[in-house]
Amino acid sequence: MSGADTILEVRDLHVRYGGFEAVRGVDFTLRRGEILGIVGESGSGKSTVAKTLMGLEKASGGAIVDRSKSMQMIFQDAVGSLNPRMTVRQTLEETRKIKHCTRQCAELLAFVGLSDAVLDQYPREMSGGQCQRVSIARALACSPDVLVADEPVSALDVSVQARVLNLLRELRAGLGLSILLIAHDLAVVKNVCDRICVMEKGLFVDAGPSVDVFASPKSDYTRRLLAAVPDVSRALSARFGG
């Protein structure tokens, strides 16, 4: 249900590729200052939802009501999303120039916990976690209200995953961001998201507060996801202190 605190509302979204319907009618809202997780295995349709929100895919039905002043996306392949021929400084300055952003490079790096020392480094000279932080800094350049994070930690090891997820929580708290977090396993979102939508074959089969989804999953699919990742879940929980 929409309300004054709703910054993004999706109603009966459908996305079709030829004869295949990747998203088959999903509804959800993202509230101001909330982290909402959409979780599902490869091919479930979750990344298609994210790309459609950003205009990278075209909806074949439904409505997207965007009340934000700006929505930015963080991609799964942090290294691949950065131009290998550009330094961090050049990457951030290009974004600032094209989009007429006012935040300075040093300020953006401070937001994501990086020092000015990386400004003149190339992606190949940084770790995957550092590259993802640069990608997040670039997304923050124009002071967005909403971040759409499409599997932002799936290419990182567990220790780095926890640090990046903690960073997203800190940005939500410090900047008042709303975040849509796409993930392929429930362990990633357990300690981060306020609410979770579980997606299977283009539909939501479970949705609700994170605590409820973990304590009382409604679908067999959700139960299978929970059973599939106990070791990763414990490792992430330990690093979160939960």
Q: Does 177 map to a domain? A: yes
Kindly report the backbone phi and psi dihedral angles of residue 102, in degrees, each rounded to the nearest multiple of 5, phi listed first: -100, -20
From the number of C-beta atoms within 10 Å of its C-beta (0-12, 13-18, 19+), residue 156 rates as: buried
Q: Which of 16, 126, 144, 7 shows the shortest CA–CA distance to 73?
A: 144
Q: Which amino acid is at 123?
A: P
Q: Where are the beta strands (DSSP E) in the chain?
A: 6-17, 20-31, 35-39, 61-66, 71-74, 146-150, 178-183, 195-200, 203-209
Q: In whole angstroms, what separates CA 231 from the centre of its chain?
A: 23
What are 16's two structure tokens?
A: 């079709």
Neighbours of 174 (CB within 10 A): 9
DSSP state, 117?
G
**Res 156: pLDDT:** 86
**Res 40: pLDDT:** 95
**Res 59: pLDDT:** 97
> 64-101 as b/e, with b when 16 or more CB fall inside 10 Å?
eeeeeeebbbbbbbbbebbeeeebbbebbbebbeeeeb
Q: Does 1 map to a domain? A: no
Q: Does 219 map to a domain? A: yes
C-beta of residue 61 within 8 angstroms of C-beta of residue 34: no
Q: Which amino acid is at 82?
A: L
**Res 191: pLDDT:** 85
Question: Terminal CA-to-CA distance of the chain, rounded, Å?
Answer: 31
Q: What is the CATH number of the domain that holds 94?
A: 3.40.50.300
* Rounded mean pLDDT for each run of 10 residues along the chain, 242 residues in total: 82 96 97 96 95 96 94 90 95 92 93 95 94 95 95 86 92 95 89 95 97 94 85 55 49
pTM of the model: 0.90
Rounded CA-CA distance 94/86 in Å is: 10
Could you give the number of structural domains in the chain? 1
For residue 117, the enclosing domain spans 6-240
